[in-house]
Structure 1
Amino acid sequence: MQDLQGKAALVTGASTGIGAAVAEALGAHGVRVAVHYNQSREAAEAVAGRILAAGGRAVALRADVRDTAAIQACVAEATQALGAIDILINNAGSLVQRAPIAEFTDALFDEVLHVNALSALAFCRAVVPLMRQAGRGGSIINVTSVAARNGGGPGAYLYAGSKGFISTATRGLAKELVPDRIRVNAVAPGVIATPFQDRFSTAQMLENFRASIPMGRLGTAEECVGAFLYLASEQLSGYVTGQILEVNGGQYMP
């Protein structure tokens, strides 16, 4: 993918899991990468370090995605460090907490929607004017989930709803930004073996998920990478916008 050479990307939530794998893959294809993190500083710096060691260019930047002012500052830092942002990957997010409806609280609703939905829009709000000013177009790739299609696992309806928001907003933003040659798409991972699942899913839940997947196993972060590279590349996906690319081992087939 020669067209990725020399571009700059901001990958949110890139210290571990899918975000880390995508950041390193972009770096390997000649993209300058801002590796965003919140709490996992050492892991994020390790990701950036591996990109640098491989001959690429990367910087680790911190921002709490619950703070929209911090998001604006992060985008400004990324632009200063990389010179531009051609690719925005909105990967940061969290299930926060599994909660049956009887345990649902207003505060939990606010946090889940803020972390997963508002944060992505806030990053877009900060990056889009920069893409417009540069006049080169761009690619925004949001991360939704198979949960947006099937409602998620036990007690995850808030997370599923927030990802449903992302899927729908992706289509709306694609329509708004197409005159600026900014393509907006999303990747919807299925059940991927990452620290996210380690934190929020029991062994029995994971076994139940596995049993529902035609491929008979959980996915890996590396198996998600190709979808992001495809959507980031103008050469490969220049006529693709407003689409949700499912990566789930056949768990959901639209």
Structure 2
Amino acid sequence: MAEVILVTGGSRGIGRAVAILAAERGYDVAINYNSQAEAAEEVARLVRAKGRKVAVIKADVGKEEDVVRLFKEVDRQLGRLTALVNNAGIVDKSMRVEAMSGERLQRMFATNTVSAFLCAREAIRRMSKRHGGEGGAIVNVSSIAARVGGPGEFVDYAASKGALDSFTIGLAKEVGPDGIRVNAVRPGIIETDIHAATGDPGRVERIAPQVPLQRAGSAAETADVILWLLSPQSSYVTGALVDVSGGR
């Protein structure tokens, strides 16, 4: 029976790269999206072209009822979940903390942090040996911003990812005895369209020279690390925060 992976925010960027690479590695793939329907269907087409089953499921993973429905659809369309990539995330316009609205903060943490808790909860209920499962692996997509803090740009985003790091460490210890590994990747400057959301579309070109490797990373490079963390090759790795940042 094929391994089944759910990728939240799987329609573009790192999520897209993970979905495609997972199909190449033999996974059947559930692609979650919230608003980018056409992009999600294009990823699905690429997954099918690699001979794998695919489910495309719209859900706002910051909302509990949507998450419950999402996982039920994965069960129905693909079967037993074995891998979860909590990739869904947002960033907002660069600004200082004193200018941030409460609505922005609520939305940031709902999408970047609460969603990972909710999705992990549903995954554990299916994977955990104490619930009759056979184990599995979870990878949370954090950010190097959790370490550098994002001053003057997006301290809220950085804090939401810092919380995700703490969640990763604690959850790994909690569910390790249940046969579930939990890790995080922390990308640095990666060439995706998320930077346009900050109001600074030239951010990659501006910051890349400051990276020790003198360049930005790619979504594909990040996906390689994520798939390794999901694979048997990392069977003794859990609770790790893996920087994919070019040394930044």
TM-score (norm 2): 0.95
1:166 aligned residue:
164
Question: Is 1:79 equivalent to 2:63 in the alignment?
Answer: no
One-letter code of the match for 1:20?
R
2:41 aligned residue:
45
Question: What CA distance in whole angstroms lies between the structure 2 residues aligned with 1:203 and 1:113?
Answer: 23
Contact 1:146–1:152 under 8 Å retained in 2: no
Question: Is 1:18 equivalent to 2:14 in the alignment?
Answer: yes
Question: Is 1:248 equivalent to 2:239 in the alignment?
Answer: no
Q: Could you list the per-position Cα deviations for residues 38-61 of structure 1 after superposition, in whole angstroms to 9, with x for gaps in the alignment?
A: 000110011011110121111111
Question: What CA distance in whole angstroms lies between the structure 2 residues aligned with 1:97 and 1:68?
Answer: 26
CA shift at 1:223, angstroms?
1.1
Task: Give the aligned CA root-mean-square deviation in angstroms.
Answer: 1.4
CA shift at 1:134, angstroms?
4.4
Question: What CA distance in whole angstroms lies between the structure 1 residues aligned with 2:132 and 2:216?
Answer: 40
2:220 aligned residue:
222
Moved over 4 A (4+): none
2:141 aligned residue:
143
SS in 2 for 1:161: helix
Q: Could you list the per-position Cα deviations for residues 85-121 of structure 1 after superposition, in whole angstroms to 9, with x for gaps in the alignment?
A: 1000000000133221221222211111111000110
CA shift at 1:210, angstroms?
1.2
Question: What CA distance in whole angstroms lies between the structure 2 residues aligned with 1:207 and 1:161?
Answer: 24
* Cα distance, 1:155–1:82 mapped onto 2, change above 3 Å: same
One-letter code of the match for 1:170?
T
TM-score (norm 1): 0.93
Q: Which runs of 5 or more residues in structure 2 are unaligned?
A: none
Question: What CA distance in whole angstroms lies between the structure 2 residues aligned with 1:18 and 1:201?
Answer: 20
1:7 aligned residue:
3
Contact 2:228–2:234 under 8 Å retained in 1: yes
Q: How many equivalent residue pairs?
A: 246
